[in-house]
Amino acid sequence: MYKRFGLVLVPTVVGVYAAVNLTGPQGVSALFGKWNELERIQRENATLDAKLEERKEYLRILKESAVQQELEIRRKLKRLKKGETIYDVPDPEPEPNK
């Protein structure tokens, strides 16, 4: 009698325990949330890696080209050569949608 009761009780307790753990806050939904977050972070890392490579390439060009260095310095310091003029044209404001 007790043996049969134990054979039914143990799997039932294990099943209830598993169901509670799988549906709880640390269960399957949390696992899917972590997977989604991991994918988002991997996409963000890929974007940052691409930006890093672009910057490395730009630095390489700056190191190799005196003309590029001069242009960058003048741009950063907002300096002009004698006789040069800068025209600052503002972007047109977008028309409001009607």
Q: Is residue 6 part of a domain?
A: no
Residue 45 CA to chain centroid, in angstroms? 6
Q: Output the pLDDT for position 49.
A: 97
92 within some domain: no
Domain-embedded: residue 83: no
Residue 93 domain flag: no
Look at residue 59 and tell me if it is in a domain.
yes
- Phi-psi map region of 78: left, alpha, beta (phi>0 left; psi -120 to 50 alpha): left
Q: Is residue 52 part of a domain?
A: yes
Query: Could you list the mean pLDDT of each consecutive 10-residue stretch along the chain, which spans 98 residues?
Result: 75 77 73 92 97 95 90 83 82 76
Q: By residue range, what is the domain housing residue 63?
A: 26-77
- Pair 80, 74: CB distance under 8 Å: yes
Q: 43 in helix, strand or coil?
A: helix
Three-class DSSP category at 1: coil
Number of domains in the chain: 1
Q: Is the four-CA dihedral 89, 93, 94, 98 of positive or negative sign? A: negative
12 belongs to a structural domain:
no
pTM across the whole model? 0.52
